[in-house]
Amino acid sequence: MAKPLTHQAVWAAIDALAAQHGRSPSGLARAAGLDPTTFNRSKRETASGRPRWPSTESLAKILAATGSAFEDFARSVNAEGGGSSEGTHIPLIGLAQAGDGGFFDDAGFPVGGGWDTVPFPQVGAPHAYALEISGDSMLPLYREGDRIIVSPAASIRRGDRVVVKTRDGEILAKLLTRQTPDGVELHSINQAYENRMIASQDIVFIARIIWASQ
């Protein structure tokens, strides 16, 4: 049975979208060319206390500004708690350790009992997990000890930061610059590391980085 569309869930999904892209609700509105106060909490109800809903135009603009798919936003609205900020715990493992067998299924979802957990606000990303950075391959964007949050259920587009696991057991965190039926082209964030072209048959999974805890 489908969950009813609620005022709280829609606004929580907007907050989650902002968080996924490292912005406040005001920053998200500004990035979309809207008045910075568009998504302020004071704008979510009328003076008489009646719920005020975001316009379809404002939703379209923030999705365009973040390169997000409407389907992902709708899943966030429908997620348990509507992407509320109460928080949850998600699986955590080291980036280097993640290349070992037994931690992911073939679709890139976390499995097995070798994971730790870390508290994280709900952002409407089912099956999200955290990887702790080791080494310097992602400098200057991410440093050793930073945690990246990965969503295997999120849609992927050119320009996204992604995690790729290869059949050789490598776990790569890079920028997706091209994706074709034959494979993917990955750009290294740290210029000291080479870019990579990986054939489709050599990829176990590819998933989008949606957040970083630094």
Q: What is the mean pLDDT of residues 173-202?
A: 93
Residues 72 and 91: their CA atoms lie apart, in Å, by 21
Residue 2 has pLDDT above 60, yes or no: no
* Mean pLDDT (the chain, rounded): 83
What mean pLDDT do residues 152-167 have? 90
Residues 199 and 178: beta-carbon distance below 8 Å: no
Q: C-alpha distances in angstroms, 62 versus 65, 69, 103, 162?
A: 5, 10, 34, 21
Instruction: Check residue 141 and give its pLDDT.
Output: 81
Interatomic CA distance for residues 32 and 58, integer angstroms:
8
Percent of the residues in the chain that have a pLDDT greater than 70, as a whole number: 90
| pLDDT band at residue 199 using 50, 70 and 90 as cut-offs | very high
pLDDT at 74 over 50: yes
Q: Taking a C-beta distance cutoff of 8 angstroms, is the pair 27, 18 a contact? A: yes
pLDDT tens digit sequence for 20-46: 777 788 889 999 999 989 998 888 888
Lowest mean pLDDT among 136-150, 153-167, 172-186: 136-150
- How confident is the model over 125-145, as a mean pLDDT? 84
**Closest listed residue to residue 54, CA positions, set 96, 1, 104, 15:** 15
Domain residue ranges of the chain, discontinuous segments joined by +: 7-82, 88-213
Condensed to tens digits (0 to 9), the pLDDT of residues 76-107 reads: 777 634 444 445 778 888 887 888 778 888 77
Burial of residue 27 (number of CB atoms within 10 Å: 0-12, 13-18, 19+):
middle
Interior angle at CA 77, CA 45 and CA 74, nearest 5: 125
Is residue 1 very low, low, confident or very high in pLDDT (cuts 50, 70, 90)? very low
Cα→Cα distances 118→2, 93, 121, Å = 30, 10, 10
Please state whether the predicted TM-score (pTM) of the whole model is above 0.75. Answer: no
Query: Is beta strand 203-213 parallel, antiparallel or unpaired with respect to 147-151?
Result: antiparallel
The pLDDT assigned to 207 comes to 93
Per-residue pLDDT at 85: 43
- Tell me the CATH number for domain 88-213: 2.10.109.10
CATH code 1.10.260.40 for 7-82: yes
Q: Tell me the pLDDT tens digit for each residue of 43-67.
A: 888 877 788 899 999 999 999 998 8
Average pLDDT score over residue span 169-183: 92
